[in-house]
Structure 1
Amino acid sequence: MVTLIEVFVLAVVQGLTEWLPISSSGHLVITQKILGLNLPLIYSVMLHFGTLIVVLTAFRKDIFGIIKAVVKRDFETDEGKLALFIVVGSVPIAFTGFVFHGFFESLFSNLPAVGLALLITGLVLFFAEKRLGNRKMGILDSILIGAAQAIAIIPGISRSGVTISTGLLRKVDKATAFKYSFLLSAPAIAGAAVMESKELVVGNIDLIPLLLGTIVSMIVGYASLKLLQKIVMNKKIHLFAYYCCAVGLAIIFFTLSQ
């Protein structure tokens, strides 16, 4: 049975780490190991739902613009092009998640793999800001950023970290790289929630901790998204590289010493 305190802690971890480039999946694995928890699937589905609401709220103007362009079939505008980029960029994670779902699930119980993945995230974040540019985004950029998102299924690889970094490494301007990263996350998060829902067996579920977790993850998630936006715009994303490398090394040394 999951207590209110445990749900609150997990929701805060989810909200903070879903958007900050430090890997929500990796930190949830670590937190559940520390607390000795095996979170029921319904909580994972609702946490995904909460993070999806954050994206839809934070980027509502962009989303309305994209929908308007699609309805008008106007793919020459920035919004229309962005709609195409999101569709193209979503293909890698749809394929990878469907075909290799079982393999990636097995990594969630492998702490050394999580530690190594956090190290990789740290290195990517560190080098990304070395190649800042101001180029407009193209179709190849959307494919490569989409491929980075697919790799981020691995626990310990930060989705926001590697997608934004891939855009920066491609010298896409930082505002576009940030916005595209989060708009691209919406179909991925929705797809993950749908896939998990297929395996969901709803029994005697206590709604209070479930709602608490969803609301807390939404509030904390919105704040962390806005914080990351300021960090990216101020060219400080490399600061998270040190954190990811430190945590990754600590996990590897701890697990290997057992």
Structure 2
Amino acid sequence: MTGVLEALGLGALQGVTEWLPISSSGHLALVQTLFSIDVPVAFDAVLHVATLLVILGFFRNDLWKIIRSWARRDIRSPHSRLGLFVLIGTVPTALIGLLLEPVIVAAFTSLTVVGIGFLITTLFLVASKRPLGTGKVSAKLALLVGTIQGLAIFPGISRSGSTITTALFGKVSPQEAARFSFLLFIPASVGAMLLQADDLLASTLGLDILLAGSLAAIVVGYLSLKLLFLVVDRNRLWYFAPYTLIVGLVALLGGLYA
């Protein structure tokens, strides 16, 4: 990395792509491959910490209600059950992530794989255009959404787009689908952050670079998350499908002629 401006740009990119259904990992892979920008693991870890702070702040009321209901051992409360379903969904996510980690490292260097990932995201986004349900998350649906989240580790597959659409197919209301998707993100993000802890502690990056990237990711990420919920409320996730289709095709062409 060359300096603060590059850190600001990458932080803003992370803030936009982490929450909007256009795949942060896919864009990171494209930036690294097409522009030959080497993003240190430590900087990537810091950006993930920043986006985690955004989601913790955004859902602080839900998280507090889950913790309080567990502390009271109120297993029948909606928030207690919601927290349990998040834990259930985390199991397949963790298993898939650990099993596929060696494959994912190689996938980040393949424009073809990234392009296919974006096209898969496009299919999810188009599929989200469906009659809306009014139901709640179940244990079975939590397992399915958690599995999809684990598979979304492949670059180009949007975690938010794929998990929200999967929940919508489970006849869950849009708001509930988005809320569960992002609550499910929290333990996965914490796990990924712990795996990168050694790289972060050993980092030689300047504090100015780390702070610039974090600040950009937090500010842009919060605004992007607000925008996403407006889009979800109007059942308009599919608006992003043309973009992911174009990016996917460009990545595929780049892979063919690389």
In structure 2, C-alpha distance between the alignment counterparts of 1:231 and 1:200, rounded to whole Å: 34
Mapped pair 1:215 → 2:254: no
- Name the aligned partner's letter for residue 65 of structure 2: G
Mapping 1:126-141, distance limit 5 Å: 126-141=126-141
What is the aligned partner in structure 1 of residue 236 from structure 2? 236
Residues 96, 150 of structure 1: 8 Å contact kept: yes
Fraction of identical pairs, as percent: 39
- Name the aligned partner's letter for residue 86 of structure 1: V
Residues 131, 169 of structure 1: 8 Å contact kept: no
Over residues 190-227 of structure 1, what are the superposed CA-to-partner deviations in whole Å (9 max), with x where a residue is unaligned? 11111112445625331101111011101100100000
- The RMSD of aligned alpha carbons is 1.3
Instruction: State how many pairs are aligned.
Output: 258
Mapped pair 1:64 → 2:64: yes
What is the aligned partner in structure 2 of residue 12 from structure 1? 12
More moved, 127-136 vs 222-231: 127-136
Unpaired segments ≥5 residues, structure 1:
none
Mapped pair 1:142 → 2:142: yes
In structure 2, C-alpha distance between the alignment counterparts of 1:203 and 1:220, rounded to whole Å: 24
In structure 1, C-alpha distance between the alignment counterparts of 2:254 and 2:21, rounded to whole Å: 23
More moved, 148-157 vs 100-109: 100-109
In structure 1, C-alpha distance between the alignment counterparts of 2:235 and 2:225, rounded to whole Å: 15
More moved, 33-42 vs 18-27: 33-42
Mapping 1:138-177, distance limit 5 Å: 138-177=138-177
12 and 70 in structure 1: CA distance in 2 versus 1, 3 angstrom threshold: same
What is the aligned partner in structure 2 of residue 27 from structure 1? 27
What is the aligned partner in structure 2 of residue 182 from structure 1? 182
Unpaired segments ≥5 residues, structure 2:
none
Residues 16, 224 of structure 1: 8 Å contact kept: yes
What is the aligned partner in structure 2 of residue 125 from structure 1? 125
In structure 1, C-alpha distance between the alignment counterparts of 2:48 and 2:130, rounded to whole Å: 32
Residues 2, 39 of structure 1: 8 Å contact kept: no
Secondary structure at the aligned position of 1:130 is classed as coil
Secondary structure at the aligned position of 1:137 is classed as coil
* Runs of 4+ off more than 3 Å: 198-201
Alpha-carbon shift at residue 34 of structure 1 (Å): 3.3
Residues 43, 200 of structure 2: 8 Å contact kept: no
In structure 2, C-alpha distance between the alignment counterparts of 1:204 and 1:87, rounded to whole Å: 35
Structure 1-normalised TM-score?
A: 0.96
Mapped pair 1:105 → 2:105: yes
What is the aligned partner in structure 2 of residue 197 from structure 1? 197
Residues 46, 200 of structure 2: 8 Å contact kept: no
Secondary structure at the aligned position of 1:51 is classed as helix
Alpha-carbon shift at residue 129 of structure 1 (Å): 2.1
Structure 2-normalised TM-score?
A: 0.96
